[in-house]
Structure 1
């Protein structure tokens, strides 16, 4: 049973767990608080020190810490996100959190971030992903300012392959942005954070205004209907920004203001763009979804990719030159389970060597994790 202040959980959620309106105190020993997260999050205890070693603290996510852990048996390093169930229920994102796990378990692609495992204990959810030591693309972009078109060509091919795969699988990502793209040790990309993704078959339509505002397609900003085509717009914004060092339209504080700016902006390509790259971005940033570049096959045929392989095995061996920076902070996985966001994620990030005092129990052997 929880001691002290009771979490502010909506009554309808408590009823789902078997607690009526006359018993609003969250009694976490009740089976309902386990079953409501099943089957997506199997119930088990946290692996002990004989299996896992906590190496450090990576970041403060939207709902809890992200820890760097080592599997002693496999001798592999992972990132584990620790999420209090009370936060998931309080914010009403139970179905969203389960959907993310469902989606990630179904996909396996070299340019999509792998979900290794997930489970629940009495009070927490745990999501374990591959650990990418190099960090996220946004952090790197902030340091280097802008990328050469040759480097962006490889990035674009990898992200295009990832989006094409997801869309063919009936999944729309809805939050393609630099912060949700991780870099491997050899400079290749992994599309991460499926917190806003959903299953959407070809021909399906969505209406939820969600994503990160400066990347959102006009049809998303207006409340739909929209489909997988919106992800290609986000890719266009991302590629434009990587090369120029700035977003074509700075973020506005609200969706209505952003929509007005996007509708009015001409999206003329800078003279510094080579014509093939300018053509690619122009087709991705077409405001009319039906005329937008929206399939991997059409993407591959762009002049910009002349001579570029889209074979996944060969693409992974393509050299990507990244500059080493001591200040580059490692990040393991995106801020999953975020609510609809009007801007860039504001989660704080720390080096592995820095751990807040309240996480001492986590870093000394899972004392708090076993609750």
Structure 2
């Protein structure tokens, strides 16, 4: 669990990322220059569409019924040879009346606010008419164009079902199709880590170490399954009501053994590992992206999308003036994670063996044990 100082009770509709200022165009010999963030009007939350290539599942037509149908991959292998458990949570609400003209979304939820939009999806804050709780629902913006297009959308459902239940992944509840669109119901988190950084600006280093531990625990779950996320960034890390950091957006998650160059170049360029552009990637690509995220958190650094600054960050030239206020052990770890050579970067397990992270994890486990004893 991450403890966030000066916590504000916010939902993700107030957590939309602020517009980033342009990166200054400077010559290679000029030092990094700080680029301030401004409290301007919030812009839309960009969701990244899934890009995986899937084996075909049986589906006789690209057109789905006007009646809502639950979508689930439970019962299939989770990637480790174990079947995903069959859960009633994926069944549709019993209050859904198929004879009505209203969609399942309209019948079962009250739409409160639009909290995000991307090229392929919109996200809404809703209240369930069934249990009165608040959720986030992600809805496909475009109709299915083909069966292949549909399969790309459905892969994210498969991944959410695989990882849902882990403390450091966004909780997934159900998915359904209706009128050639896909809907996913998920937990409503307080805000993104990107928005938290903009709001707080100066984050205590102890909090940064806790954030890193949360993300490493999530990433270990992926890497142990031979999967890579390919889109680790602050926008894709959400802060739950329990203050833990949760990894979201599994649209680009791929099996290392089945990846190809096209799939590997779809992530955010600000966080992308240098070898990705050559079609060479592995789990080390996620480590590099995580290192960039920690650099951004630690230094309030405006990340470049391209240009000389982008090249310097991927050549091992990190902004010394920005890093002078962080501890030597955190600086050393960030430099190791952002090594230009993938083979030189530590693995998730190696980072988790860092004495600082070991101490934090032991402290968490002690608190869990104390809380469990008190509760009983």
* Alpha-carbon distance in structure 1 between the residues aligned to 2:244 and 2:91: 34
Secondary structure, aligned partner of 2:275: helix
Shift of 1:150: 0.7
Secondary structure, aligned partner of 2:246: strand
Partner of 1:114: 171
Deviations 1:103-141 (A, max 9, x none): 111113100112211111123211111111x21111121
Matched, 1:267 2:324: no
Partner of 1:230: 285
Secondary structure, aligned partner of 1:266: coil
CA RMSD of aligned residues (A): 3.5
Shift of 1:43: 11
* Alpha-carbon distance in structure 1 between the residues aligned to 2:364 and 2:358: 16
Deviations 1:272-330 (A, max 9, x none): 2212111211221111111211122x112224325211687668899xxxxxxxxxxxx
Conserved? CA contact 1:277–1:304, under 8 Å: no
Any gaps of 5 or more consecutive residues in structure 1? 1-15, 19-29, 319-371
* Alpha-carbon distance in structure 1 between the residues aligned to 2:355 and 2:71: 46
Show the 5 A alignment for 1:186-197: 186-197=242-253
* Alpha-carbon distance in structure 1 between the residues aligned to 2:187 and 2:269: 28
In 2 relative to 1, CA 267–316 (structure 1 residues): closer, same or farther, beyond 3 Å?
Answer: farther
* Alpha-carbon distance in structure 2 between the residues aligned to 1:146 and 1:221: 33
Q: Which moved more, 1:233-242 or 1:163-172?
A: 163-172
Q: Which moved more, 1:161-170 or 1:270-279?
A: 270-279
Q: Which moved more, 1:150-159 or 1:178-187?
A: 178-187
* Alpha-carbon distance in structure 2 between the residues aligned to 1:261 and 1:113: 33
Instruction: Select the residue among 84, 89, 96 that pairs with 2:152.
Output: 96
Conserved? CA contact 2:315–2:340, under 8 Å: no
Partner of 2:336: 283
Shift of 1:89: 2.9
Secondary structure, aligned partner of 2:324: coil
Deviations 1:8-32 (A, max 9, x none): xxxxxxxx999xxxxxxxxxxx944
Deviations 1:46-80 (A, max 9, x none): 43766433233222333343222222333321111
> Which gives a bigger RCO, structure 1 or 2 (Cα 8 Å, sep 6+)?
1
Instruction: Select the residue among 160, 164, 172 that pairs with 2:228.
Output: 172
Secondary structure, aligned partner of 1:219: helix
Shift of 1:81: 1.5
Matched, 1:131 2:162: no
User: TM-score, with normalisation over the residues of structure 1?
Assistant: 0.66
Show the 5 A alignment for 1:1-371: 31-34=61-64, 46-47=103-104, 51-86=108-143, 89=145, 93-107=149-163, 108-132=165-189, 134-200=190-256, 206-207=260-261, 208-224=264-280, 226-247=281-302, 250-252=304-306, 260-267=311-318, 270-296=323-349, 298-305=350-357, 307-309=359-361
Conserved? CA contact 2:62–2:150, under 8 Å: no
* Alpha-carbon distance in structure 1 between the residues aligned to 2:72 and 2:332: 43
Any gaps of 5 or more consecutive residues in structure 2? 1-56, 74-89, 93-97, 371-376
Count of matched residue pairs? 281
Secondary structure, aligned partner of 1:54: strand
Conserved? CA contact 1:99–1:198, under 8 Å: no
In 2 relative to 1, CA 232–317 (structure 1 residues): closer, same or farther, beyond 3 Å?
Answer: farther
* Alpha-carbon distance in structure 2 between the residues aligned to 1:54 and 1:316: 36
Shift of 1:259: 6.8
